[in-house]
Amino acid sequence: MKATAKAHTNIALIKYWGKRDQALILPTNNSLSLTLDGFYTTTTVDFHDALTQDVFMLNGQAVTGEAYQRVTKFLDLIRNLSGKTDLYANIGSINEVPTAAGFASSASGFAALAAAGAKAIGLNLSDPELSRLTRQGSGSACRSIYGGFAEWEMGEKEDGTDSYAVPIAPREYWDIRVAAVVLSSTMKKVSSRAGMKRTVETSPFYSGWIDSIPNDLNGIKVGIQEKDFEKVGAISEANCLKMHATTLGANPPFTYWHDTTLRVMHTVQEMRANGIPAYFTIDAGPNVKVLYLPEDEARVEETLRNIAGVTDVRLSKAGPGITYL
């Protein structure tokens, strides 16, 4: 019983930041993302009668500790859904994403794991069902089920059955580009989960962030519908800055930014002043993603590569949803 799935990371344009239920991973707000073709995870799940526990290999290395526990706990959900609770698996993942550096490695990782695991064990899930399952491994992963633009609906029910992602526009709809500016591939000091929890519990700025989301969400969906790049970019950049502002109000305060993060932000704003429409967004990590249009690609890439402290610039188009290999 074996299946292989490939999932791409997504970049949140309207951020997910905060949970109303830690165990079920239910968010405090809706979020909206663009799936990227340049970063992805390919995962094979092979269930075997002979195994007495799960075996997890990531990029050819055996995984133990907390990362292993997250994966095997997630496979328990799949085993329970299928009724095959005594089946264990060999899991092999190849990750084309820097891990735990703000590049959404858990999004592509858990989306690929959910898709491969469900298919291997014989579950025939719809996209909303797969998204709902995936959410329980990593919140942002539920949006990687779809290509192009997707919205994770927070839902209202306590059991989370109405909290999953829905497609907004397919990848072919609009050719928006994203440059991933790599400053650091080292593990961040405060994980997304820990940072989120601390912010929700202690930051006085958090309620203002939540109150601003519906307006941002409505505005960006109009921008996508009208293919208004300036509108989508401006809302994304402002939403990102509001999210990161909440971390400065947390107790103890923290930030994911490095000095180079700020240099990239300033450079993007200078590009705009010089007539190149470009906008930044930053997830929970130091690395920056820059939105731009295809006709500006050469100038944007050159400008970003010339910033001191930038180690790489990786260009992406809108990416596909889950594929099976």
Residues in the chain: 325
Rounded to 5°, angle at Cα 118 from 149 and 100: 55
**C-alpha span between 276 and 291 (Å, rounded):** 11
- Collapsing DSSP states into helix, strand and coil, what is residue 322? coil
Q: For residue 83, what are the CA distances in angstroms to 50, 71, 121?
A: 18, 18, 10
Across 85-116, b (16+ Cβ under 10 Å) vs e yields eebbbebbbebbbbebbbbbbbbbbbbbbbbb
How far apart CA 3 and CA 96 sit, in angstroms, is 19
221-276 pLDDT, tens per residue?
Answer: 999 999 999 999 999 999 999 999 999 999 999 999 999 999 999 999 999 999 99
- What Rg value do the Cα atoms of the chain yield, rounded? 19
Q: Mind listing the domains of the chain with CATH numbers?
A: 2-173 (3.30.230.10), 177-316 (3.30.70.890)
Q: Which of 189, 187, 185, 152 is nearest to 167 (CA)?
A: 152
**Segments in the chain below pLDDT 70:** 98-104, 184-187
pTM of the model: 0.94
